[in-house]
Amino acid sequence: MFSEIISSVESFIMINVSWAVFLGCILEQIIVPIPASLIVLSSTFIILKGTSFSLAALGTLIVKIVIPASLGITLGSFVYYTLAYKLGTPFIERTSKYLGVSVKDVENVEKKFKKSRYDDIFMFLARCFPVIPSIAINLFCGLIRYDLKKYIFTTFLGSAVQIFGWGLLAWFSGNIYLVLEDKISYMGNIVTGIIIVVVIYFIIMKRREKNKKE
């Protein structure tokens, strides 16, 4: 029953992977607890599991995972960018306990932003490496009214680099898993066998002790 459910989910993702990743990454930008990395890792693992490295497979990763995910992140990030742009700091103060991001968090982004020599490169790198929470970057860009064209460009391109990295990790991890799967299964059978033998031995010894007492 459980294996059938997993198989059905995998089949659904295989057919609708681009839409699933796109919509999932939009939600990830709005509903903070959903990590984009988990969406990308699981989707890539399913569609490229067992696929050897090739240009065709690399193209599949880029077209079906990287581009939809980057578009989803870029589109979803507009929500808090726009709200901060229109409503300013009061919006962050009122929603901080729900979003998990305070005015202080946004101010920390501002400090790092001011230390950097090149604003656009900072924004790009902030998207590439998820050290700073994405929502804090979105809110900060809205507050300072960061140029919209530059915002779109740095968000999409930086997200694409990050997603590509997650995708490669999932792809290679999936192949390693398949190589070890038989060995893992074999070891599992040995452990199960040992447990059964120990349980039988324990039952026999208990019965012997009981018979001696009688």
Q: pLDDT higher for 52 or 56?
A: 56
12 contacts 62 by C-beta, under 8 angstroms: no
Q: pLDDT higher for 210 or 86?
A: 86
User: Is there a domain that residue 194 lies in?
Assistant: no
Mean pLDDT over the full length of the chain: 78
Compute CA 72 distance to the chain's CA centroid, rounded to the nearest angstrom. Answer: 13
Region of poorest pLDDT, from 10-24, 51-65, 125-139, 154-168: 10-24
User: Is there a domain that residue 89 lies in?
Assistant: yes
Q: Is the dihedral of CA 138, 144, 148, 150 positive or negative?
A: negative
Q: Model's pTM, two decimal places? A: 0.73
- Residues whose CB falls within 8 Å of the CB of residue 126, separated by 6 or more in sequence, listed in order: 109, 132, 137, 158
pLDDT at 185: 47
Each residue's pLDDT tens digit, 73-99: 999 999 999 998 999 888 888 888 777
Q: Could you say which DSSP state residue 131 is in?
A: T
Q: pLDDT higher for 24 or 15?
A: 24
Residue 11 CA to residue 24 CA, distance in Å, equals 17
pLDDT at 38: 80
Compute CA 108 distance to the chain's CA centroid, rounded to the nearest angstrom. Answer: 24
Each residue's pLDDT tens digit, 129-151: 878 888 889 998 998 889 899 99
pLDDT at 65: 92
Confidence band of 9 (pLDDT split at 50, 70, 90): low
User: Is there a domain that residue 85 lies in?
Assistant: yes
User: Is there a domain that residue 151 lies in?
Assistant: yes
User: Is there a domain that residue 93 lies in?
Assistant: yes
Could you tell me the two tokens for 105? 């968090």
Please give the tally of structural domains in the chain: 1
pLDDT at 188: 45
Cβ burial 77-90 (10 Å sphere, 16+ → b, else e) = bbebbebbbeeeee
Domain that holds residue 53: 2-180
Judge whether residue 198 has pLDDT over 50. Answer: yes
User: Is there a domain that residue 131 lies in?
Assistant: yes
Residue 32 CA to residue 139 CA, distance in Å, equals 13
Confidence band of 37 (pLDDT split at 50, 70, 90): confident
Confidence band of 57 (pLDDT split at 50, 70, 90): confident
Other Cβ atoms less than 10 A from the Cβ of 39: the count is 23
pLDDT at 199: 55
Q: Which range in 3-17, 97-111, 114-128, 157-171 is most confidently predicted, on average pLDDT?
A: 157-171
- Residues whose CB falls within 8 Å of the CB of residue 21, separated by 6 or more in sequence, listed in order: 39, 40, 43, 64, 65, 68, 69, 72
